[in-house]
Amino acid sequence: MSTAVLVFQASGFFLAPLLFGVTNKTKAWFAGRNGPPLIQPYYDLWRLLGKGAVYSETTTWVFRLGPPVGLAATGISLLVLPAGGLTSPLAFNGDIFLFAGLLATARFAVVISAMDTGSSFEGMGASREVTFGALAEPALFLSLSSLVLVTSQLSLSGAIASLEWPLWTEDIAPVFWLAAAALFVLMLVENSRIPVDDPNTHLELTMVHEVMVLDHSGPDFGYILYSSSLKMWLFASLIVGILYPLSMASPWSGGLLRIAGIMLIGVAVGVVESIMARVRMVQVPRLLVGCMVMGVLGVALAIAIR
């Protein structure tokens, strides 16, 4: 395992919060404010990790288990992804399923810890989270499987590594576009960004993720924020991995370019959040079904062309 791999794998864990910073900056720029500094998320994390904690007396150890498990699962699933286009140390045939499985584990952990509080708000959040999760899972499978079918590679690293420029010239290119688009929407849903949910509101109305973590405080909340930023990063790097066409001689330059790409995704999210309004809760499932349709199209194309 070369140093490059180590560096880039590690970079994900270090740079993930920065992605939020980028997004917020973008939004601020659109709003004409100058907004919080780019590294604001790091401040937040630091502050939270430094705080004490308040626990509701209805809760049990399940509540305290949620954040660490969620963070751990998300982190490992990030390790499964190739970083900077380099095969990940955890890569193996079928790691797609481990990747998805770990994400599901993280979701499960956070959801039950939310339900442990017995608050109707967090129950509601949990209910919505699992609802969207249940629909997001097959969409994710579809878009990933279209990649697998095109590249005949059973591991994420393999699949992404073999998506190179020549493929883009062939007529299977739409498959990548579709997969990328689906993943982008999935990213918005999974990280409950606009147009699915507004991370800044604290009104009961529309919250999915935010409302689940109302009762978490101190380090626990820090864990949660960090793991959600990791999740964001993870989707972004996946999308970049698909769209990034070049293959460089030196791994370093390639990796750096990819990181830049990820930051661009962050900007894109910011743009979306500034120019779009939040859709009504009942329409989110349609959004996800839209993802599935894209996935199905991708798979169909892939089959048709093979």
Partner 1 sequence: MNLLLLALGIPVLSGSIALFLYARPRAAIWSGISGAVAGCGIGIVYALQNVSGQAATDLRIPWQVPYGEFHISVDPLSAVFLLAIFGLGLLTAIYSGPYLLHYRKEKSLSASSFFFNLLLSSMALLVVSRNGILFLVAWEVMAIASFFLVTFEDEKPEVRNAGWTYLIMAHAGTAFLLAFFAILGREAGSLDFDNFSALQLAPATATGLFLLALTGFGAKAGFIPLHVWLPEAHPAAPSHVSAVMSGVMIKTGIYGILRALTFLGPPPAWWGILLILIGLVSGILGVLFALAQHDLKRLLAYHSVENIGIIALGMGVGVWGLSHGLSFVAIFGFSGAMLHVLNHAVFKGLLFLGAGSVLHSTGERNMDRLGGLMKPLPVTGATFLIAAAAISGLPPLNGFVSEFLIMYGSLKGALATEVPVSTALLGTFVGMGLIGGLAVACFAKAFGVVFLGSPRNGHAPKSHGEPAGFKLPMLALAAVCAFIGILPFVAIRLVLPAASQIAGEEGIRAATDMAAFSGTLGRISFGSSLAVLAAVCLVLLRKALLRGRIVSTGPTWGCGYERPTTRMQYSSSSFAQPLLAIFRILLRSRQALHPPVGYFPRSGGFRSETPDVFSARIYRPLQWWIERMSLKLRWLQHGRVHLYLLYIFVTLVVLLVWRLRF
| Phi, psi angle pair for 36, to nearest 5° | -70, 155
Cβ contacts of 45-49, under 8 Å, gap ≥ 24: 45/17, 45/222, 45/225, 45/226, 48/218, 48/219, 48/221, 48/222, 48/225, 49/218, 49/219, 49/222
Here's the x/- map for partner 1, 199-238, by CB under 8 A: it reads as ---x-x---------xx--xxx--x---------------
Among 31, 39, 134, 248, binds partner 1 (CB under 8 A): 134
Scanning 8-16, 136-144, 164-172, 262-270 for contacts with partner 1 by CB under 8 A, the matching segment is 136-144
Contact residues for 148 (Cβ-Cβ < 8 A; gap 6+): 96, 154, 159
Output the smallest distance, CB 48 to partner 1, in A.
10
Our finding on whether 305 is near partner 1 (CB under 8 A) is no
**Tokens 């918005």 appear where?**
188
Our finding on whether 35 is near partner 1 (CB under 8 A) is no
Our finding on whether 135 is near partner 1 (CB under 8 A) is yes
Output the smallest distance, CB 101 to partner 1, in A.
5
Site for partner 1 in 53-72 (CB under 8 A): 53-60, 62, 64-65, 67-69, 71-72
Our finding on whether 73 is near partner 1 (CB under 8 A) is yes
How far is 137 from 80, CA to CA, in rounded Å?
A: 17
Sign of CA dihedral 155, 187, 181, 247: negative
Scanning 36-44, 111-119, 229-237, 253-261 for contacts with partner 1 by CB under 8 A, the matching segment is 111-119
